[in-house]
Structure 1
Amino acid sequence: MIETPARSASSRPPSDVSAWVGLVGLAGLLLWVAICRAWPQIGEALGLPGPRARLSGSSAAVLALVFSGTPMVAWSLLVDKVHRRASTGIDWSAPRPLRSVLDVSITKLAGLWATWALIAFVYCLGRWYWRGQYLFAMDLLETAAPFLFLGAIPYVLWLDRVLVEPRDGAWHFGAMLIGREAYATEQVWHHLRAWTVKGFFCAFMISILPGGFAAVVEADWSGLWANPVRWSNTAIEAMFMIDVQIAMVGYLLTMKPLDAQIRTANPYLAGWVAALICYPPFVLMGGGGVLDYHQNTAEWAWWFDGHPALLWIWGTAQVLLTAIYAWATIAFGLRFSNLTYRGVLTNGPYAFTRHPAYLSKNLFWWLVTLPFLATTHSKVDAVRNTVTLALVSAVYFWRAKTEERHLLGEDAKYRAYHAWMAEHGLITRPLARLGQLVVGRSAPGVHHPPTPSSEEEGEQVRA
């Protein structure tokens, strides 16, 4: 371990992401939701053909990505001017002649196309991708594939002319496959890890887009204020829909001109294990899985039925927690994705704690489930469910630590942010102090590992 002395900077390190990026995306998304809900009235007023029904189908859910993503891209380019940052790896002032980068671009395209073919092959092998909600994702990706493959040609040729170093991970993977030029193994692993993240999470996120969007568009708002359970459930659905839509934009727009590229994907096996067991098909938390904490339980509304004051208090607390969860995603703007380093985020809810999404999500689950109350009145069930949910929370603590290990080894700004939060974070500071008391440490020093060597990265991925 490398130990860095604790720092007590008076100001929080600046964020690589402007808070306004996510907010304008949220505004665009809410505008589209309002249009979809009011479509019968809009169609009637404009005399448009077609049924007078709300737009809640899968196409409307996908189009929502355009309404949220377009203002985020516009703000990033026109206001924040992210394309001018050195971290993009682009020098716009000295574009090369096309003929000078053609060989590089062809090799890179070979690497990209082979990567996408490999992802498609994995989709074919995974039975879970061809049933249930994943069918929508497969249909959409199949439709998009020709445009992706062909659209890559002009994009790569254009971008390689201005990249300071066009021989990136895709080029190294292509060079390995073609066998004509020397390639760097660590670059190949970086490329494959990054696209594994995109391939896995894009399919999952696309699969859940239509359901959440339809629930919000079709929601019945009449009488909500007379029913705390309906009110809270409707608001919570809206928060989760916002989270999914903004996050999906982040997964799709991992582009260097937006300074939103995946700089590195987590090289640690523990990070991948901790993350993947939270998502299908590997998820352990539901459907009778090892960490399913729902056995013989009833949710909060059942326990508090007949106590309207408690229903309002408990429901409002859940709405606030999911609002924080959605806010954490919004704060990422164009850069949200799991298991990746795409810059350092220090504003929004990340000004109060290093992991607001994990903290709010887990508190939400405890409030919703109340695992210490069992419908069977069995103490064994109550203890089992409580311990199991505690283990779920421990998994998210594990995820947080593996992510910190990755980022601490990548960016000095994150190390400064990590140290600042330990000293000044409204939530992180007392938690850090509590942790020091538990483990018997008096020094508030920040520990971080060195950046892993290429050989270590390869071994970790192969493991």
Structure 2
Amino acid sequence: MTKSPAHAVSPRPASDVSVWVGLVGLAGLLAWVAVCRAWPQIVDALGLPGPHARLAGSSAAVLALLFSGTPMVAWSLLVDKVHRRPSTGIDWMAPRPLRSVLDISITKLAGLWATWALIAFVYCLGRWYWRGQYLFAMDLLEQAAPFLFLGAIPYVLWLDRVLVSPRDGAWHFGAMLIGREAYDVDQVWHHLRAWTVKGFFCAFMISILPGGFAAVVEADWTGLWADPVRWSNTAIEAMFMIDVQIAMVGYLLTMKPLDAHIRTANPYLAGWVAALMCYPPFVLMGGGGVLDYHQNTAEWAYWFDGHPALLWAWGLAQVVLTAIYAWATIAFGLRFSNLTYRGVLTNGPYAFTRHPAYLSKNLFWWLVTMPFLATTHSKVDAVRNTVTLALVSAVYFWRAKTEEKHLLGEDAKYRAYHAWMAQHGLITRRLGRLVRMVFGRSGAGIHYPQTPSSKEDGEDKALI
């Protein structure tokens, strides 16, 4: 017996990122990791003069971006053909003569170069950028800066010829600085917010690339299956390395021909506060911070020592949660970024809950730390740490809500996804039901603001 239309489940809104984009990037990354681990054997087999050691240095970590990013770009262009989408703002069939856009391009380049100079100035002011792991990021960005500044010239000249509206945020910022033409203040702020996201998070992500990559390449697999703690820690390290590598590609390739550009950055102060307090130098969860929940605690292996069955079960649960966290990043493909919207993502773990990364990450922290147990056997310590970790989870709930506010106000397509998840999402639907049981709220009558960008050109813009 077939279901009547009244009982049929409405289809989940289509994702603007195909499943395969992230998967081919993951395949390329894992292939490079395998090469780096097997490098001594490769050198011997081919008689190469190179070092007889695994490639675990910072250069190999940066090269990993090429091995993961290239397959994702190739799949996006050759298979998904994202460059042909109207949402790119590009009309490949009607290129303009270079002379007709030259003035626009010069103004845009002035805006871009001024933006990068401003980011460099902030880097110089921030003392934290010149110590610890950030030193690698500053060195790499310093080496890349000349290529970035010079490479922008042919890129902007080429792209402006085919853009439907070449006067974008960078142009408006340049026009404001030059003072020769009228500019839109809203466009200027959009441009500055987007590049603030890139400047802040690129430096942080680059700084943590080498450590995670080296840990995976140099990991000793001998006797791994006999030790549940070592096995789970090694697997978790690999998942976090995958997350960082794929996310870094996303931050770097915010390009219109890939349909991966930043449509808008979160315009709400609460969204920025909620996000930045989770990252250095503003992080509140680190050692000694306001939300440090590790005081007088010991991790899971301490409490389950001598109970192999529990060690395996607890370790496996952490690996699964970390795998979901990495899967959430992989699902973004080329479009991962905090505080922005770059397309609608509805597949992968986002078919089950709107915030799989936040949910899995927080559950992971609860399993690892077990804050309700204190090495001092003090009930005060146990209560304090439990409440503090609960506050950390509340911060991530706040982040999720500020992101939803941004996305719901931007695009009807995301609103359709949001509504679909509330009705049909395997996890979201059940969490919503639990909230209604506890707080007695149906959520009805909530008004989500609309902005002009949600109707621009009649497009169904994508949100991430």
TM range (shorter): over 0.9
For 1:373-408, what per-residue CA distance to the aligned partner results, in whole angstroms no more than 9, with x for missing partners?
Answer: 000000000000000000000000000000000000
SS of aligned partner of 1:365: helix
Q: Which residue of 1 aligns with 2:260?
A: 260
Q: 1:330 to 1:31 in 2, by over 3 A?
A: same
CA distance 1:81–1:446, shift in 2 (3 Å): farther
Q: 1: distance between equivalents of 2:361 and 2:445?
A: 28
What residue in structure 1 maps to residue 242 of structure 2? 242
CA deviation string 1:343-400 (max 9, x = no partner): 1100000000000000000000000000000000000000000000000000000000
TM-superposed CA distance for 1:98, in Å, is: 0.1
> Where does 1:414-425 land on structure 2 (aligned, <5 Å)?
414-425=414-425
Query: CA deviation digits over 1:319-341, x for unaligned, max 9?
Result: 00000000000000000000000
Q: Give the corresponding residue for 1:49.
A: 49
Which residue of structure 1 lines up, in the alignment, with residue 450 of structure 2? 450
What TM-score results when the alignment is normalised by the length of structure 2?
0.95
Question: Structure 1 pair 178/208, CA: closer, same or farther in 2 (3 Å)?
Answer: same
The structure-2 alpha-carbon separation of the partners of 1:443 and 1:385, relative to structure 1 and needing over 3 Å to count, comes to closer
Question: Which residue in the other structure is 1:152 paired with?
Answer: 152
Post-superposition offset of 1:282 = 0.2
Output the CA distance in 2 between the equivalents of 1:445 and 1:9.
23
- Residue 448 of structure 1 aligns to a residue in which SS? coil
State the secondary structure of the residue aligned to 1:393.
Answer: helix
Question: What is the CA-CA distance between 1:448 and the residue it aligns to?
Answer: 1.7
Q: 2: distance between equivalents of 1:92 and 1:351?
A: 33
The corresponding residue for 1:461 is: none
CA RMSD, 1 decimal:
1.2
Q: In the alignment, what sits opposite 1:37?
A: 37
Amino acid of the structure 1 residue aligned with 2:347: N
Higher RCO (CA < 8 A, seq sep 6+) = 1
1-structure distance, mates of 2:87, 2:320: 35
Match of 2:78 in 1: 78
Contact 2:411/2:450 (<8 A) preserved: no
Mark the CA change 1:227 to 1:445 in structure 2 (over 3 Å): closer, same or farther: farther
Distance 1:59 1:415 in 2: 42
Q: For 1:266-415, what aligned pairs fall within 5 Å after superposition?
A: 266-415=266-415
Equivalences, count: 447
Query: Residues of 2 paired with 1:435 and 1:408: CA distance?
Result: 20
Distance in 2, matches of 1:82 and 1:375, equals 54
1:139 aligned counterpart, secondary structure: helix
CA distance in 2, matches of 1:322, 1:451: 36
Where does residue 456 of structure 2 map in the other structure?
Answer: none
CA distance in 2 between counterparts of 1:358 and 1:241 reads 17
Work out the CA distance in 1 between the residues paired with 2:104 and 2:443.
51
CA pair 442-398 structure 1, distance change in 2 beyond 3 A: closer
**Structure 1 segment 101-120 matched on structure 2, within 5 A:** 101-120=101-120
Note if contact 2:321-2:360 (Cα within 8 Å) is conserved in structure 1: yes
Residue in 2 that maps onto 1:13: 13
2:457 matched residue in structure 1: none
C-alpha distance in 2 between matches for 1:212 and 1:358:
20
The question of whether the paired residues in 2 share the 8 Å contact of 1:15 and 1:347 is answered with yes
- 1:434 positional shift: 1.6
The whole-number CA distance in structure 1 between the counterparts of 2:9 and 2:311 is 43
8 Å contact 1:228–1:312 — kept in the other structure?
A: yes
**Which residues in structure 2 correspond to 1:56-135 (within 5 Å)?**
56-135=56-135
The Cα offsets for residues 246-301 of structure 1, whole Å up to 9 and x where unpaired, read as 00000000000000000000000000000000000000001100000000000000
In structure 2, do the counterparts of structure 1 residues 452 and 385 end up closer, same or farther at CA, with 3 Å as the change threshold?
Answer: farther
Question: Could you state the TM-score of these two structures normalised by the residue count of structure 1?
Answer: 0.95
Q: Distance in 2 between matches of 1:88 and 1:337?
A: 18
Deviations 1:105-161 (A, max 9, x none): 000000000000000000000000000000000000000000000000000000000
Secondary structure at the counterpart of residue 146 of structure 2:
helix
CA drift of 1:449 comes to 2.4
Contact 2:58–2:210 (8 Å) recurs in 1: yes
Which whole-Å CA distance do the structure 1 matches of 2:97 and 2:443 have between them?
A: 56
Q: Which runs of 4+ in 1 moved over 6 A?
A: none
Change (3 A) 1:306 1:447: farther
Asked if 1 retains the 8 angstrom alpha-carbon contact of 2:61 and 2:209, the reply is yes
Paired residue for 1:170? 170
Q: Which amino acid aligns with 1:16?
A: D
Aligned residues of 1:419 and 1:446 also touching (Cα < 8 A): no
SS in 1 for 2:167: coil
Cα distance, 1:156–1:402 mapped onto 2, change above 3 Å: same
Which residues of 2 match residues 147-226 of structure 1 at below 5 A?
147-226=147-226
Q: How far apart, in 2, do the equivalents of 1:307 and 1:158 lie?
A: 63
> 5+ unaligned residues in a row in structure 2: which ranges?
1-7, 454-464
Separation in structure 1 between the aligned mates of residue 110 and residue 411 of structure 2, nearest angstrom: 31
- Separation in 2, partners of 1:435, 1:418: 16
Q: 1:233 & 1:445 partners in 2: Cα distance? A: 46
